[in-house]
Amino acid sequence: MKKLKSISIAIIGVTCLLLVVHIDSRAQNGNSCSRPMNTSLPSSDPGQIKHIAIQGSDVTIVGPNGGLLNLIKQLNTTDLTPIFGRPTRITDYYAEMEDSWWKKWEYPGAYFLINPGKMLEFFNISGPGFKLNVKGAILEVGKPIDELAKAFPDFKSYIIENRTVSFAFQMANGELSDEFMGITFDSITRNRTSMYNEMP
């Protein structure tokens, strides 16, 4: 009788143990489902990534020919030729997020994307020739990132992963928009490698 009682207690103990393990594994599975892996790009929320706040009017693209394009004043454009001269080529560009075809204007060391609404959406400068005038600081690919200090003395506080300085465009109400501008640089030479604007 004692032996039977001991076996019953052992069976109850094992059952309880299995039940606890089962409940724990379900809880863990539930937690893993409720916390999916974050595969999205970093948010432009100022609390998550530090941006230097700028106005669109603070940024002017300077062409090799001396032509000027201000990001606010000349945003609506259909033809960059009068500003920067004849491009190397103009091609159709499929903007996947917007599911529409844009025009890609290519120049040596730079390209520009114009959407169907005839608005300049993006620029990317990756070679010498084109420059950015950002609040009076003239920036060119291949030159030291530290030249940013002329306009932004504390820019080093806004460096991401020792390779990018991030800017966010400020809206009329003072809030930061979800459009940003980045300036990348080589972490060893500290020379700029590209300057661009994008949506996150």
Query: What pLDDT, in 10s, does the model give residues 108-162?
Result: 999 999 988 888 889 999 998 999 999 888 999 999 999 999 889 999 988 998 8
Is residue 44 pLDDT above 80, yes or no?
no
* Cα(163)–Cα(149) distance, integer angstroms: 16
From residue 136, alpha-carbon distances to 34, 80, 132, 180 in Å are 48, 23, 9, 19
> Percent of the chain, pLDDT > 90?
42
Query: In whole numbers, what is the pLDDT of the chain averaged over residues?
Result: 77
What is the average per-residue pLDDT within 56-63? 92
Residue 44 lies in a domain: no
pTM of the model: 0.71
Tokens of 197: 């604007």
Residue 161 lies in a domain: yes
On whether both 111 and 186 belong to a single domain, the answer is yes
Q: What is the pLDDT of residues 165-176, one digit of tens each?
A: 989 888 878 788
Please give, one letter per residue, the 3-state secondary structure of the chain: CHHHHHHHHHHHHHHHHHHHHHHHHHHHHHHHHHCCCCCCCCCCCCCCCCCEEECHHHEEEECCCCCEEECCCCCECCCCHHHHCCCCEEEEEEECCCCEEEEEEEECCEEEEECCCCEEEEEEECCCCCEEEECCEEEECCCEHHHHHHCCCCHHHHEECCCEEEEEEECCCCCEEEEEEEEEECCCCCEEEEEEEECC
* Cα(114)–Cα(120) distance, integer angstroms: 4
On whether both 187 and 144 belong to a single domain, the answer is yes
On whether both 14 and 64 belong to a single domain, the answer is no
On whether both 126 and 161 belong to a single domain, the answer is yes
Residue 148 lies in a domain: yes
Q: What is the pLDDT of residue 26?
A: 36
From residue 10, alpha-carbon distances to 2, 17, 19, 22, 62 in Å are 12, 10, 14, 18, 82
Q: Are 52 and 164 in contact (CB under 8 A)?
A: no
Closest by CA to 158, choosing from 39, 57, 60, 54, is 54
Q: How many structural domains comprise the chain?
A: 2
On whether both 127 and 31 belong to a single domain, the answer is no
Q: What is the pLDDT of residue 199?
A: 54
On whether both 75 and 14 belong to a single domain, the answer is no
CB atoms within 10 A of CB 128: 14
Look up the domain containing 32 and give its range: 1-38
On whether both 6 and 59 belong to a single domain, the answer is no
